[in-house]
Amino acid sequence: MAVKHLSDEQIQRYLEGDMSLDSEAVYHLQECPICQRQLQIYRKVYQGLQQDADFELAPGFAETVITRLTTVPVKSSRGSLVGLILICFGTTAAACLTLYFLEAKALAETLASLFATAVEFGLPLVESFKVTLASLGVRPDIVLFTILILITFGAIDRILFRHRGSHLYP
Amino acid sequence: MESDCSESRRLINEVLNGNSAAFATLIERNKKLVSHVVFRMIANKADREDVCQEVFIKVYQNLDRFNFESKLSTWIARIAYNACLNHLEKKHVPLLDDLGSEQDILEKYSGDGETPDCYMERQDIMARVRSEIDRMPVHFRTVVTLYHLDEMSYEEIAEVTDMPLGTVKSYLFRARKLLKERLKEKYQLEDIWR
């Protein structure tokens, strides 16, 4: 009958202190010179792996980092009002656009007229911008649509980025 | 674990309130872990210190985003790991080859109950193992370092490296087997059979 030596996995489990290794295998390991040799090599491997390889940082490392930090801007506290506003605006814009493309024209027209009114009375700068665009032959609604899309994507990206930063790599 | 967590919270709050001494404490507590990851992954000695500094600057800049879902050390190790990956990607850094000279090894001999011959031989075997570690793929090196040197659990390593748990276990097993095979091939069995 062929002798069944321990596998690499079993020897590693033995060195890891895995108690689930059956007693027959442990007995074989203790008695078999071939398996003993494998075990000895693995022991050396484990010793080498556990040895700190003199990875020393320069003295005063912490002070150097702190000195460098004086030139790095401190980030603001949790949450950002601007980010929140952008997210709200982007979400609203995305909802409006969805409704528009779903042919909920009445609602879209109301929103458009409200927006136009706001532009007309509140933002003369926008009006002049519209005139400029018109003189250039560019449709203002297309420009508005593009801006809204960009804001929406920006907001989505910000949400994803913040999520990633909170848990993963900043 | 709970006291560790509350201690981390206290430390982080102090750092966020602008206490630089608290940040120095945070660096002191975690610099060994960061150096293990960075020194094992980055071959160029000149770059290592800079990358370690960058890691702690990133830690500082993003500390307000740490949400205590993991241990602070795990989060910092993850930043270090990703900073190294970015560095390697940017610079196409070659594999490590940072073994100290025989003279360096002798200088570290402390002589506590061990003969110089035995000490040299043990150091030689350790140096051979380290040399083989440095020849392994970067993910293998990282996983074995975090497990054996920093005593992280499989779960923590999976979190640091963003690898599935099974991959971490597989890498560990394969890395150790690879080291064993290389040592076996390279040297006479008698040399390491002691």
For residue B194, pLDDT beyond 90: no
**CA-CA distances (angstroms) from residue B3 to A131, B6, B7, B66, B71?**
65, 5, 6, 17, 12
The pLDDT confidence band at residue A164, using thresholds 50, 70 and 90, is very low
A37 interaction partners in chain B (CB closer than 8 Å): 189, 193
**In angstroms, rounded to a whole number, what is the distance separating the alpha carbons of residues A85 and B106?**
64
* B 43-102 residues inside an 8 A Cβ radius of A: 49, 52-53, 56-58, 60-62, 64-67, 69-70, 78-79, 82-83, 100
At A103 the pLDDT is 62
At A133 the pLDDT is 75
* CATH number of this structure's domain B2-91: 1.10.1740.10
Q: Find, in chain A, the residue whose alpha carbon is nearest to that of B55.
A: A65
Residue with tokens 């071939």: A34
Q: Find, in chain A, the residue whose alpha carbon is nearest to that of B49.
A: A57
Are B65 and A54 a contacting pair at CB < 8 A? no
**Is A52's Cβ below 8 Å from some Cβ in B?**
yes
- The partner residue sitting opposite A75, judged by closest CB among B24, B27, B64, is B64
ipTM over 0.90: no
B179 interaction partners in chain A (CB closer than 8 Å): 45, 48-49
Q: How many CB atoms sit inside 10 A of residue A127's CB?
A: 15
- State the span(s) of chain B assigned CATH 1.10.1740.10: 2-91
At B172 the pLDDT is 93
**Is A33's Cβ below 8 Å from some Cβ in B?**
no
Is residue B115 within 8 Å of A40, Cβ to Cβ? no
Cα B41 from chain centroid (whole Å): 8
Are B31 and A48 a contacting pair at CB < 8 A? no
- State the span(s) of chain B assigned CATH 1.10.10.10: 102-192
What are the backbone angles phi and psi of residue A32, rounded to the nearest 5°? -85, 120
Q: What's the rounded mean pLDDT across residues A114-132?
A: 74
Task: Tell me the three state secondary structure of residue B168.
Answer: helix
Query: How far off is chain A from B91, nearest CA to CA, in Å?
Result: 19
* A 86-125 residues inside an 8 A Cβ radius of B: none
In tens, the pLDDT along B119-135 reads 666 677 777 888 888 88
In tens, the pLDDT along B22-68 reads 999 999 999 999 999 998 888 888 889 999 999 999 999 999 888 88
The pLDDT confidence band at residue B75, using thresholds 50, 70 and 90, is very high
Are B39 and A53 a contacting pair at CB < 8 A? yes
Considering A9-18, A85-94, A102-111, the range whose residues carry the highest mean pLDDT is A9-18
Residues with Cβ < 8 Å from B154, sequence gap 6 or more? B147, B165, B168, B169, B172
Which of A10, A3, A15 has the alpha carbon at shortest distance from A40?
A15
Is residue A36 within 8 Å of B179, Cβ to Cβ? no
Q: What's the rounded mean pLDDT across residues A61-76?
A: 76
**In angstroms, rounded to a whole number, what is the distance separating the alpha carbons of residues B133 and A17?**
23
Q: What is the DSSP string of B107-149?
A: HT---SSS-HHHHHHHHHHHHHHHHHHHHS-HHHHHHHIIIII
Q: What is the DSSP string of A120-136?
A: HHH-HHHHHHHHHHHHT
* A 53-82 residues inside an 8 A Cβ radius of B: 53-58, 61-66, 68-69, 72, 74-75, 77-78
pTM: 0.63
Structure tokens at B128: 């051979």
Least confident of A19-33, A55-69, B82-96, B158-172: B82-96
* CATH tag for B102-192 (out of 2.170.190.11, 3.40.50.12280, 1.10.10.10, 1.10.357.10): 1.10.10.10
Q: Find, in chain A, the residue whose alpha carbon is nearest to that of B40.
A: A55
Residues with Cβ < 8 Å from B141, sequence gap 6 or more? B40, B41, B96, B133, B134, B175
> B18: which DSSP letter?
T
Identity of the residue numbered A135: S
Task: Tell me the three state secondary structure of residue B65.
Answer: helix
Query: How far off is chain B from A1, nearest CA to CA, in Å?
Result: 27
**Is A24's Cβ below 8 Å from some Cβ in B?**
no
Structure tokens at A147: 């801006």
For residue B12, pLDDT beyond 70: yes
For residue A78, pLDDT beyond 60: no
A45 interaction partners in chain B (CB closer than 8 Å): 129, 176, 179-180, 183
What are the backbone angles phi and psi of residue B43, rounded to the nearest 5°? -80, -40
* B 136-175 residues inside an 8 A Cβ radius of A: 144, 148-149, 162, 173
Helix ranges, chain B (H) = 2-16, 20-41, 45-62, 72-91, 102-107, 116-135, 138-144, 154-161, 165-186, 189-192
Helix (H) or strand (E) holding B70: none
**In angstroms, rounded to a whole number, what is the distance separating the alpha carbons of residues B31 and B37?**
10
